[in-house]
Every structure is written in C-alpha cells, then in structure tokens.
Amino acid sequence: MTDVPIEDMPNQGGPSKAVVKRQPSHGEPVWYPYLLMAPAMITLTIVALLPFLFAVFISFHEMKFGKFGDFAGFGNYVELLSDGRFWNALGVAVLFVAIAVPLEFMLGLTGALVLSRPIWGRSVLIPFLFIPTMMAPIVVGLLWKIMLAGSWGLLSYNVIEPLGLAGETSIFASPDYALFALIFVDIWQWTPFMMLAFFAGLQALPINPFRAAAVDGANPIQRFFWLTLPMMTPLLVVIGLLRLIDAFKVFDSIFILTGGGPGTQTEMPSVLAYKMTFEFWNIGEASALAVVVWVLFFVFCNVFYQVAKKKLNAF
C-alpha cells in the first residue's frame, strides 16, 4: 500500500451500501423526527393497525351476528380452510392475477416503448391515457356493465353477439367467460397506468449509455435487452409488485359486474370476505379469511423482495 493512488484504494462496500450515520442533530431535540412522523403514524395506527389487530382478535372468537361469543381458538380457521369456497376464491384470484397482470405488464411496457419514440400526437395521447386510471373503480364497473350488458350493451350488441363469442346470455352470466370479462376490464383500467409509469421510467434513463451502445454497433433489440431492461428492472419490479397486490384485492368491479357469479366463478377473496360478513354474518370466519390472505401476502412479498434484491439487483 505504498504507491497506490488514493482513488485506487479498495473501496469497502461502495456508495450503494454505505450506511449513512445520523449526524448529531443541529441543536434539534431527539424527539423532533418522531414529531414529524407522528401524523402519518397516528393515522395509520387508527385506520390500519387497530382494525387489523381487531380483525385478528375477532378471528379467534365465535361471532354471532356481530356479538362476541366464546374464545374459539383456531376454530374459525379450521372452518375456513375446510370451506371449498375459500379455496375456490383463492384459485379464482390466482387465475385472475396470473392472466391480468402479465398482460398489463407487457402491454404497458410495449406501449411505453412506443410512446418514448417521437411519434406523432404523443402530447395529446398521454393525457387521454390517464382517463381510465383517474376513474373511480366503481365508475369503471358501471361503464362496462353498460357496455357489456346482455343484448343491448354497445359491445354486446355490436361485437360479442354477432360473432357469437359468449353464447346467448350476458357475458357476465357466462360461466366460461365471466372471469375473462373481468380480466378485460382490469386490463382496460390498468394498462394505461403501467404504460405511463414505465414511460416515465424510460424518460429518466440516461441517454449516453444508449449512444455508446449505438456507436459500438448494438442493434435496437440488443440495446433493449442489454440496456433498457436491466436499467428499468427496479422500476419494473416495484410497479409489477404493486399491481400484483392490487389486482389480488380487486373488489369494486367484481361487485358491480358479477357479484362473484355466476355461482362462485368470479368470487375472489375480497368478494368472499364481503359476503361472509354482510350476507352470511359469519364475521369470525371472514376475519380469519382476511388474516390468512394477509399472511399469504406478507410471506409472498418478503420472498419476492428477497429474490428481486438478489437476482435482479432491484430495490
């Protein structure tokens, strides 16, 4: 270590892993940061943490029409896990997410790549893309209920029925297609959001590595896989994960369009929890359902986070 220039000294850790120690405060009291965080923390405690803990509490009790009964141990959970409807709901949700989210993801990324080229009318197009995202999900549900209404709905009358795509009834009453109609609505609503999020990410990429790749002779496809995709990975992972969680919890459009039917064909956990609570008044089992779904997500998100961190260098 005699004649190594200072800048060549082995860099222990590197800036990305550097731990920034909190500097001694500039005369501010120790509790000052906590004061600043307090409003958010208090709000979250009241509207999220306490109801959640209460739900956990409920799930361990026998409930009769909103009144606490005896402590039930894992009774509600046993009941839930032996309920075919619960497993059906999980299956529906997995199918819904597994089809809707990858399609939204790919359509969104493709659209973002198209948008990031200097195409004609881009500045007009972008505000339009915000419309589905800005609409309340309940309004989206009503909109498509009308568009796809049996026999007189605009799309039903003009497209679906002439082509005989969904049999005689409304598509929402079709056991085979109802779920796909819901998936279609979800894609309609959320693809533009994905597109805009990815578009913003593409705009933020540094231009010079792309220039370097162009000079070095990489073609557009090589540039996409060598540069765009790896540099976008953190954003893709975060947006994809958010969308995944959100899609699993979808409620409004299902509630409006199918109510979980026909039968239980489109009954996702959120809809089932609603029905258990307000139709069957089985609040104990509904709370157990909520807790189980939460545990599933907690585990899933942690695994996802670890994998994304190690394999993809995201986060």
Partner 1 sequence: MTDHNGLILNELSKTFGDNQALNGIDLDVAPGEVVAVTGPSGAGKSTLCKCIAGLERPDSGSVFLGGREIAGDLPGGRGVAFLFESYALYPHKTVFENAASPLRVPGRSSSLSGAELADRIGRELDKLAIGHLADRLPSELSGGQKQRAALARALVQDNAAITMLDEPISHLDAKLRHRLRGEIKRELMARDAPAIWVTPDGLEALSVGDRVAVLIGGKIAQFGTPREIWENPASVEVARLIGDPPMNLLSARLQDRDGTVTAELDDGMHLILPPDSVERLVAASGKQSLQDGAVTIGVKPRDIRIIRLEDVGVMTSEVVSLEPFGKHSLVTLSLGKSFVRVKARDDMGVRPGERVGLRFTGPVTFFKAKTGSRIVTGWEEQGGETERRAVPAL
Site residues (vs partner 1, CB under 8 A):
5, 7-8, 10-11, 14-16, 206, 208-209, 211-219, 222, 226-227, 230-231, 233, 313
Distances (CA, A) of 35 to 22, 25, 26, 75, 111: 17, 14, 16, 42, 43
> What are phi and psi for residue 285, nearest 5 degrees?
-70, -35
Minimum distance from residue 195 beta carbon to partner 1 (Å): 23
Q: Whose structure tokens read 């209460």?
A: 54
DSSP letters of 46-86?
A: IIIIHHHHHHHHHHTEEEETTEEEEE-TTHHHHHHHT-HHH
Q: What span, in angstroms and rounded, lies between the C-alpha atoms of 186 and 247?
A: 8
Residue 54: how many other CB atoms lie within 10 Å: 11
Q: What torsion, rounded to 10 degrees, do the Cα atoms 161, 162, 163, 169 define?
A: 20
Minimum distance from residue 111 beta carbon to partner 1 (Å): 24
Minimum distance from residue 36 beta carbon to partner 1 (Å): 30
Minimum distance from residue 11 beta carbon to partner 1 (Å): 6
10 versus 127: smaller Cβ distance to partner 1:
10
118 versus 206: smaller Cβ distance to partner 1:
206
Quick check: 146 and 171 in contact, CB under 8 A?
no
257 versus 314: smaller Cβ distance to partner 1:
314
Minimum distance from residue 302 beta carbon to partner 1 (Å): 24
Specify which residues 68 forms β-bridges with: 63
Give buried/exposed letters for 10-21 (b at 16+ CB in 10 A, else e).
Answer: eeeeeeeeeeee
Minimum distance from residue 13 beta carbon to partner 1 (Å): 8
Quick check: 161 and 151 in contact, CB under 8 A?
yes
290 versus 314: smaller Cβ distance to partner 1:
314
157 versus 226: smaller Cβ distance to partner 1:
226
213 versus 245: smaller Cβ distance to partner 1:
213
